[in-house]
Structure 1
Amino acid sequence: MKKYILLVSLVVVMSTFIIVLSDYEKSTGIRTGYLVNIKVDGNLFKTFEGELNAGITKPGESVISTENWHFSIEKDNKNLFDSLKEMEHHRVKLYFHEYMNSLPWKRATKYSIYKAETFE
């Protein structure tokens, strides 16, 4: 019985630690590029997801190299998701928070967008 209680206690403590650590904000930043894809994704947990083509460009030239960057949008930020749908295939500036981990019901990536704007 003591081993069972110890095991359950250990599982509860570790689960709490993982959940708290997943919401630990590691950094913030800005990424720019062309918004390639915005969608609701997931088999069991539906999350708002997107993809940014953050290729390197020179003034007056086309994209030199491509780097696709995947990001998530928090479920309670539906207005941002709707505005990003309108910005698809445009050049955008995305403001994000990077988290240590992500829980599957919150976001599919470590990067969570909180603000977006278009620019030329």
Structure 2
Amino acid sequence: MSASTRKKLGMLTNGIQAADFLEVLRPTLDSSEFAGVKVTCCDGIGWDSQQQMLKDIQSVNAEKFMDVVSSHGYSAAPGDPFNTTLSVLQTEWANIFSPWSTGWDTGADGDGLLWASRI
């Protein structure tokens, strides 16, 4: 598998594939010196794709291996809340449709406070 293919698979993994990995990762961490490390999953490419990934993970009872749900906002911005009791984080966002802004509280589309309120 080429490096570019591996890179693409990171955000494009589906929930069943993630669940297979989580079922190995969590017990491995818990039986090592890394017990207690929080597992954050899965940085879907967009909010909607991460929602589907979480549904898939939940469908095979693997949410119990996670501590935090995470998503990017590249293909879809944060919208509806996730159906989970876990903490939810937006870990990356690219404001590709507006010019770059360093403003944190300007009200523009890239405004950090605006994005925080969306999640």
Name the TM-score class by shorter chain: under 0.3
TM-score by length of 1: 0.26
Higher RCO (Cα < 8 Å, 6 or more apart): 1
TM-score by length of 2: 0.26
**Greater share of strand:** 1
**Greater share of helix:** 2
